[in-house]
Structure 1
């Protein structure tokens, strides 16, 4: 009796990705550190400030382009 080849399975069965191995020890993807509420708020504050400054720069560019056209 022949054993069926795993690689010639049906299209529905896709091979599972093999875990990466280093020195015989499988490497797990790094788990993200949980962030505290304060860290999340600080991240949001930085993001808000970034977009406010970006909008200000765009406004200044439009104003400068308008002044140059005169």
Structure 2
């Protein structure tokens, strides 16, 4: 004995599912992520040692 929901699903005309293709090759997703990582690393690298520069400038102005 089937439930009414199973009968409804079996009787309805469900279209066949189609495969969706990716807009670019699968290896390009990894390459794009690597390029973004390198760009962010470059931004981080531009601000290297700024905290040490600020600390040394502040220590020079203070007189104890």
- Taking structure 2 as the reference length, what is the TM-score of the superposition? 0.42
Query: Structure 1 or 2: larger strand share?
Result: 1
Larger Rg: 2
Query: Structure 1 or 2: larger helix share?
Result: 2
- Taking structure 1 as the reference length, what is the TM-score of the superposition? 0.39
